[in-house]
Amino acid sequence: MKEEEASLVAILLYDIGHQPFSHALEHSIVKGVHHEELSLRFMEAINKEMDGRLDLAIAVFTNRYPRKFMNQLVSSQLDMDRLDYLKRDSFYTGVAEGNINAERLISMLTVKNDTLLLEEKGIYSAEKFIVARRMMYWMVYLHKTSVAAEEILIKILERAKFLLKEGKVLTANPSLIYFLENEPETVATKKFPYRNIFRFG
Amino acid sequence: MDDVDILSALKCWSDNEDFILARMCTSILQRKLPKVLMQNEPFDESFIENLRKDAMKKVHVKEADLAYFVFTGLVNKAYDTDEHNIDLLLKDDTVLDIASASDQLNIMALSKSVRKHYICYPK
């Protein structure tokens, strides 16, 4: 029961550290910090407020919990994040090629020696998942128009930082202005102790 | 903060007295995005230089600020071995990775990493 809650919490909060426009602006607002490190900071802060109720979830998230398959649910080839974002992005972009049968894949999951595995009969769903992911990369995430728009977003923030440094006044949410003016590098100095366990995206 | 904070900033800045900031914000808000070319090889220096000259005439900026309007980059999608190591539990209780178990994936060049160069310039 506690383990179930911990897995759910870890899956739910896994990406809470994403900044606006996620990967596109990952290095424009808070510099030099991977979003998973920020997720961990949020989880630690919430944990303090909740008197340690997230201890187990944090252990799962940082892969310090002995039952390794629980971390694989949060971060691996077949993690819940990937199943979720493929379905969601395919729906919202109208790129039907990215749709997958997440329910089927989840029901085919199994565990052996603490490792997350897929039952043999899940092979076709898994093939579909791999192909769908590849399609989404080329048709959506790395589509030339999204690449161009993301680049411009990055350049807009670059320009805004430059203008603020010149003493110009810009209107925006005060939190955004704070990060643009201060580039709080101090956030990045605390080394992330579990970095090597994380994989991008 | 979320996407909304950025979008609202773009709206505020779209008529900023700084021409460069205003133009970039407008280009996102009105979906007037630059031209993009993508190819496997890096772009020719002389080709880039020509686009820079054209852009100077179109957007009237100083050469130092041209980098906001003409820029190149690299899209890198590495399909590392990691990419498709989903392990299957077979009926005889052995474990096999999907790349070996699947006849469909074997024929696909999934392990090849793909690099593409792109260049953006004003329409």
Residue listed under structure tokens 């203008």: A163
Structure tokens at B31: 């979906």
What's the confidence (pLDDT) of residue B110?
65
Mutant choice from B4, B7, B35, B86 vs A, greatest count of A C-beta within 10 A: B86
* A34-92 per-position pLDDT tens digit: 888 999 999 999 999 999 999 999 999 999 999 999 999 998 888 999 999 999 999 99
Radius of gyration of chain B from its Cα atoms, rounded to whole angstroms: 22
E-strand stretches of chain A? 109-112, 115-119
Structure tokens at A68: 């390794």
What's the confidence (pLDDT) of residue A198?
39
Half-sphere exposure of A164 (CA within 13 A, CB side): 19
What's the confidence (pLDDT) of residue B20?
97
E-strand stretches of chain B? 35-39, 71-77, 87-89, 95-97, 114-121
Q: Do the beta carbons of residue B123 and residue B113 sit within 8 Å?
A: no
Cα nearest neighbour of A72 on chain B: B86
> Which phi and psi angles does B115 have, rounded to 5°?
-120, 130
Structure tokens at B26: 């407008």
A-chain residues near B3 (CB < 8 A): 20-21
CA B49 to chain A, closest CA, distance in angstroms equals: 19
Residue B80 has pLDDT above 60, yes or no: no
Q: Any chain A CB within 8 A of the CB of B82?
A: yes
Tell me how far apart the alpha carbons of residues B16 and A122 are, in angstroms, rounded to a whole number. Answer: 55
CA angle at A106 for the pair A118 and A55, rounded to the nearest 5°: 100
User: Is B24–A155 a contact, with Cβ atoms under 8 angstroms apart?
Assistant: yes
The dihedral through the CA atoms of B84, B78, A40, B5 has a sign that is negative
B5 closest CB neighbour out of A138, A170, A173: A173
Which residues of chain A carry a pLDDT beneath 70?
184-201
DSSP-assigned letter for residue B108: S
Bigger pLDDT: B48 or A186? B48
A175 closest CB neighbour out of B1, B38, B101: B1
What's the confidence (pLDDT) of residue B107?
59
What contacts B92, CB < 8 A, 6 or more positions away? none
What's the confidence (pLDDT) of residue A115?
93
* B81-122 per-position pLDDT tens digit: 555 578 999 999 999 988 888 887 765 666 667 889 999 999
Q: What is the pTM of this model?
A: 0.86
Structure tokens at B28: 């996102």
ipTM of model: 0.90
Tell me how far apart the alpha carbons of residues A70 and A80 are, in angstroms, rounded to a whole number. Answer: 11
Question: Closest Cα to residue B33, out of B96, B105, B122?
Answer: B122
Radius of gyration of chain A from its Cα atoms, rounded to whole angstroms: 19
Taking every pair of C-alpha atoms in chain B, what is the biggest distance, in angstroms? Answer: 71
Pairing of strands B114-121, B35-39: antiparallel
DSSP-assigned letter for residue A76: S
